Structures are given as C-alpha cells and as structure tokens.
Amino acid sequence: MWPPAQPRSLFWLASTKKPSRPLSTRCVSAAPCSAPVPRSWSRLICSWPRPPLSRLQRGLGQLRVAEGNLQQALHHLASDVYLASSTFGLKSLEAAMGYFHMANVFFRQNKMDIANSLYAKVTALWCDRLLSAVQAHERVLRSRSDTSPFAEDEDVAEQQLTEAQRVEGTRVLSAVLEIRSQAPKPELGEMARVLHGLAMLHYLGLDLPAAGKMGLKALELVKQLPQQESLEPIARLLRLINSAPSHAK
C-alpha cells in the first residue's frame, strides 16, 4: 500500500516504575513540574533531528537480503526509494542509493534487464549531481583565475559533496563499473558514463592522477561509439584536470 505506513515516534522510554505525574507527549523536560519550561527549550527538545524513514526501510531491506528473503527486501527498498524521493527529491543521491540496492537484488535474482536499467538510473543520478559540482568549480575558475582552483568559495561549497558522499559515490560507481565490465557484452556507453562519474569524484576529491586516468579511459570508450554526445563534458573535465596545479593531489 502506498505510501507505506510510518512507524509511530517514541517520545520517551517506558519506566518500570509508574511516574507519579503524567508526562507530556510533546516533549520531556528535566525541569520540575512546578517550574515553567522556557519556550526556547521546548522548541529545541521537540526539534531534535530524526534519521530519515527511508534509511530505516533501506536497513530493513539489507537485513532481508542477508536473510535471503529477496522479495521482502525489494518491498522495503521500494519503500526506501519512495520515501527518499518524497523527502529529498526524485533526483537525490538518497533515492539513488535505494535504486542501487534494488539493482543488486535483481542482479542476485539474475534479472539482468531490470538490474541493468536500475544501474543506469543510479549512474545517471550520480553523474548529474557530479556534473553540477564540477560546473560550479569551473565557473569559479573563470572568475578567479588568479587564485588556486581549489580555494574556498561559498557557491562551490553549496554545490560540492561531503567527504562521506564522495566515499559512498566512489564505492557505488566502482561496484557498477565492475558489474558492467564483467558483462558478456559490455555496454561501452554505460561504462564510459561510470568512468566519467568516477573521474569527477576523484577530481572533486583532489586526486588528480586518478581523475585523469579515469577520464582518459572514458574518453577512449566514447570515441568508439557511433554517437559521441558525452565527448565534450569528458574533454572539458580533462582540461580542468590538466590546468590544475601539479602539487594538488
């Protein structure tokens, strides 16, 4: 049933001893009952961040995979994608993670058409996000050519990924690349897209040698395709890598 039911929040832990006074279901205060709770305190206590429900569904899905219950795992992972898309957006990296885990389940079921379609979706979401980050960097380079390409900038900071996201992206795209390369008939276009994504990740992480290596591999694959729409973005990335200071690693 969509949308999936959300679990009720726990407002306090049950005590073995019955409290002498009723507790508020809105928030719990450590202040005596006779003393008024400052409004700012109540607002702070009641606004504690909760982990996204999508991650709960993702964790349940991974648990079912470990148990071998793949159909139930797909149910939880589909809920993960739905909740992540509703909360963070259809093109968010949170939604991409749900698609990635669903693709892995279909891969284990040997349903390769579905798995490949989902892997392509994951790659597209990551590449779109990474391309935006690289383009923001390029705009700053044009406007601040006399400074370091990796100098701090507020606009760039808003577009860039966190270190945890870069690590996650590298893990995900590396796994997709391995699966693509082991296929009986590798799809050169998809492999080039994954390599381009990895090159952008390494560039944003300041690992320029790895970025250049991945970028050149992507460029070689694209040149073998009848249609070479993605040639220019890869070539532009390689120009950025080559123009960066040699000491940046």
pLDDT tens, residue by residue, 183-218 = 988 899 999 999 999 999 999 988 999 999 999 999
Tokens of 168: 């996650």
Return the pLDDT at 12: 31
- In sequence order, which residues have a C-beta less than 8 Å from that of residue 199 and are 6 or more positions away? 211, 212, 213, 214, 215, 218, 234, 237, 241
Return the pLDDT at 159: 64
pLDDT tens, residue by residue, 65-95 = 999 999 999 999 999 999 999 999 999 999 9
Please indicate whether residue 43 or residue 234 has the higher confidence score (pLDDT). Answer: 234
pTM (2 d.p.): 0.73
Average pLDDT of the chain is 79
Q: Which amino acid is at 206?
A: L
Residue 2: pLDDT over 80: no
Please indicate whether residue 147 or residue 241 has the higher confidence score (pLDDT). Answer: 241
